[in-house]
Amino acid sequence: MKRALRFAGLALVAVVAVVLVRAARFASLQPEVTAYTPLFVEAQQVANRLAGGLRFATVSSQDASELDAEAFRGFHRYLEESYPRVHRTLARETVNDWSLLYTWRGRDPSLQPVLLAAHIDVVPVDAGSAEDWTHPPFEGVVADGFVWGRGAMDDKASLFCMLEAIEGLLAERFVPQRTVHLAFGHDEEVGGERGATEIARLLGARGARLAFVIDEGGMVVEPGTVPGLARRIAAIGIAEKGSVSIALDAVTDGGHSSTPPRNTAVGVVAAAVTALERSPLPARIDGTTALFFDYLGPELSFPLRAVVANRWLFGPLLELALSQTPATDAMLRTTTAATLVEGGVKENVLPIRARAVVNFRIHPSDSIDAVVEHVRSVVDDERIALQVGLRSEPREPSPVSPVDSEAFGEIARAAREIFPDSVAVPFLVLGGTDARHYVETTPRLYRFAPFEFGRDGLKRAHGTDERISVENLISGVRFYRRLLERSAGPAAGP
């Protein structure tokens, strides 16, 4: 017994020693940056220009015939009037009627171009909610240190900050070493198939191979969001989840509700949904999530740094903790969300048919086929028929972009220069962006908008009282200018 206790004690000491050594050797992966002298930005001018752009209700629609052509046409004219140097110097092409592709020719055509992406379109305002806005959603108001209006956050702020940065560089007669493209899609909010897809196809037909693409998707997260870290996080998206919706259909005999079978069609579908919610796809700390912790972990205070450095030991506990919150749980797994239910015509009539639609956001470690097989296995009911992609086209997760490229390093450096106390980390974008459409032109697709948001701010995107602070606009102009100064030079990554 004493010998067993002695061995157990020695084993415990050895484990503790390994944990402490690994924590001590958990080296920072943050790129070194030099002190940055902030660029002067005409803040009110930037805010007023963005506000003017928000007055065009460039709402996208799945049905192209429902698009407000005059709003998009007016927005195009507004950009031309607002940024005269850009429109005198850069070549501008209209793609598929409403998307825009700008080309700023570099001095060295042998260098791969860079592409900065944003989107023109916005989501609609929920019917009846316009009166709940502090300022009307399409009036583009500057007040209380913010620019208010639909599209202020998603994604016209990025678009205007890009143009502001280039207008300023042109005023100083800056000429890029490599070519720079600006790609502004007109239908990102409905998938980007008519906008970014066509721009990418056009570039591909011209033989373009891009150094990298940077689009929306990541952001700067306010200090204190992550326990053990009192600094901002510059979250740079290196991949985005896929998506598939699966309809669960049940057909049973109808009749009067006074003599029901043991399970109605509604009950059969409800049981299937419950089974799926109780058996989610497995969580994992690998791939994009592992990279996230590799970059974040060394910056955490002890003992959290020791936990992250020793995932071989604490991985299950870390997974359990992250699974308790929807936002972090979504980083770990393919998520399951029942979103639509249909069935029945009258309260005393047995429904003949019932349907539930379940949306899965697919982790890069999974696939559409794996999700469908999971649903078949978990539901396991011959009364349920599956229909895949009934309402929207399924899409696989995007490839994971490299974090060891010069491009990722330049984005991280620019972010850390503009936000000096920030930690730059790669992460998985949970939604979809236009970036994925450029996968044939480069493996280096990154997603980062240089704006700082807290939990309250994030709720406003696509919601009521969408707005962005004037301070964020200043940071945005500075970031895109710094990134162009860095990446438009001769280095662009492997």
DSSP class of 340: E
- Please report which residue ranges of 90-228 form alpha helices under DSSP H: 157-171, 196-205
Crossing angle between the packed helical segments 157-171 and 43-54, to the nearest 10 degrees = 130
Asked if 228 and 300 count as a contact pair (C-beta separation under 8 A), the reply is: yes
Choose the catalytic residue: 121, 216, 410, 452: 121
Question: Of the residues 154, 155, 167, 188, which is catalytic?
Answer: 188
Q: Could you give the CA distance from residue 40 to residue 43 in angstroms, rounded to a whole number?
A: 9
Identify any residues that bridge with 154 across adjacent strands, giving them in sequence order: none
Instruction: Write b or e for each residue in 131-159: b if 16 or more Cβ atoms lie within 10 A of its Cβ, otherwise e.
Output: eebebebbebbbeeebbbbbbbbbbbbbb
H/E stretch holding 338 reads: strand 335-343
DSSP for 70-112, please give it: HHHHHHHHHHHHH-HHHHHHSEEEEETTTEEEEEE--S-TTSP
| d(C-alpha 209, C-alpha 306), whole Å | 42
Tokens of 462: 């696509």
Q: Is 188 a catalytic residue?
A: yes
Cα separation, 494 vs 484, whole angstroms: 18
Round to whole Å and give the CA distance between 307 and 314.
Answer: 6
Q: How far out from the chain centre does Cα 323 lie?
A: 20
Q: Which residues contact 259 (CB under 8 A, 6 or more apart)?
A: none
Burial of 30 (0-12, 13-18, 19+ CB in 10 A): middle
| Cβ–Cβ under 8 Å, residues 494 and 405 | yes
Dihedral of alpha carbons 195, 196, 201, 204, sign? positive
CB atoms closer than 10 angstroms to residue 96:
18
Rg (CA), the chain: 25
By annotation, the residues acting in catalysis are: 121, 188
